[in-house]
Structure 1
Amino acid sequence: MRRTLTSTTAAVLLFGLTACGNDKPQHNTTGDVSSSSSSSATSSSSESVTAREAFTGISASVNSAKLSGAVTAENDPNKLLGRPHQYTSKITFDDTRIPAADVSATDKGAVERGGAIEVFADAADAKARAEYIQTVTKSMPMLAEYDYVHGPVLVRVSHYLTPTQAAEYKAAVEALN
């Protein structure tokens, strides 16, 4: 009975994690869901940048970030793109400082390989998504990630980066206009 309960609990937990952004769920190691006041909670997606535009700004500061893919409604593993209160655009990126051997078992586009940028219609939705990811994965530190929110932009960064390396993304996110 106890083994069945443990197995069932594990299965439910893993099922819930699949909505975190890729096939390999994440967790915030910093406990930091940074939010900037440069964009109000009521800004519309037409006023905000796209994920690709945000990546262009971030990669200008973090040279090791390399665009790896654009998420579309057809290839979104979470089926969240364009849904109410979910991201309106999303890209994934690799970070060349992460050894290939560390991420060889992960899918292309997995946050572990570098990260992802998700843009929402407003800052409240971006913050809610970051908090959801942290809440769902809180008890699994081995699946950690760094999450940085700036207005309607959520930048998710691989736990394979050191806190100092991840801080480069935080600074770049905070510099977004």
Structure 2
Amino acid sequence: MHRTTSAAASALAPVVALLTLLTACGNAPANSPADAHEPARASTRTDGPPTAHAAFRSMAAHVRTATLTGAVTAENDPNHLLGRPGEYTSKVTFSDSWVQASQVTGADPGAVERGGAVEVFADAADARARAESIRAIAKSSPALAEYDYVHGPVLVRVSRYLTPKQAAQYASAAAELG
């Protein structure tokens, strides 16, 4: 009987080793040796998309006229989209000193027309879908037009009151994200 148990243990050893290896690979952090076959990523981030706050900090290093004005939470989100399936996972708003106060009289403090917003999604497809939705709304109401730049899971929304040259700085900064 000892011989049968020993034979069964010998037969199971390769299966146990394979399962251990597969489990270890499934939990490997991004850019670990298990990912050596994948191309190098442009970012050193290993835990998914950046937060909107981190993306804004990076962008504001290139666009010095942008100032963070607020962080959107589930409680204060005017769109009621934060955390909903397919919607942004984080969002911040910012003002831009190029936008004249007289142009935005009466606009809410976190309104895109005061400067803009950074919205981060779980993936690039959701960010593109949101940008397309905003563009469709703007087509039917030009007063809601804005500049929208998608880079990976990040959507940078910029005030229509900026000139195309000013807005292009945000486009360049957005391209550096990710």
Range into which the TM-score falls when normalised by the shorter chain: 0.7 to 0.9
Separation (CA, whole Å) in 2 of partners of 1:159 and 1:136? 14
User: Which structure has the larger Rg?
Assistant: 2
Separation (CA, whole Å) in 1 of partners of 2:137 and 2:100? 27
Following TM superposition, the consecutive aligned residue runs of length 4 or more in structure 1 with deviations greater than 6 angstroms are none
1:122 has 2:136 as partner: no
Q: What 5-or-longer segments of structure 2 have no aligned partner?
A: 1-40
1:171 has 2:172 as partner: yes
Structure 1 residue 140, shift from structure 2 partner? 2.0
1:132 has 2:140 as partner: no
Q: How does 1:1-177 map to 2 (within 5 A)?
A: 46-177=47-178
Structure 1 residue 144, shift from structure 2 partner? 1.1
How many corresponding residue pairs? 135
Counterpart residue number, 1:30? none
Q: Tell which deviates more after alignment, 102-111 or 131-140.
A: 131-140
Structure 1 residue 176, shift from structure 2 partner? 1.4
Q: Secondary structure at the match of 1:128?
A: helix
Read off the aligned partner of 2:149 and give its amino acid letter: Y
Separation (CA, whole Å) in 1 of partners of 2:47 and 2:103? 38
Deviation string 1:31-89 (CA, Å, 9 cap, x unpaired) is: xxxxxxx79xxxxx941100000000000000000000000000001110000000000
Q: Secondary structure at the match of 2:174?
A: helix
Read off the aligned partner of 2:59 and give its amino acid letter: I
Structure with more relative contact order (C-alpha pairs < 8 Å, separation 6 or more): 1
Deviation string 1:126-167 (CA, Å, 9 cap, x unpaired) is: 000000111122122232100000000000000000000000
Give me the TM-score of the superposition, normalised by structure 2: 0.73
Read off the aligned partner of 1:48 and give its amino acid letter: P
Give the alignment's Cα RMSD to 1 decimal: 1.5
Taking only the aligned residue pairs, the percentage that are identical comes to 62
8 Å contact from structure 2 (residues 124, 152) kept in 1: yes
Give me the TM-score of the superposition, normalised by structure 1: 0.73
Q: Secondary structure at the match of 2:70?
A: strand
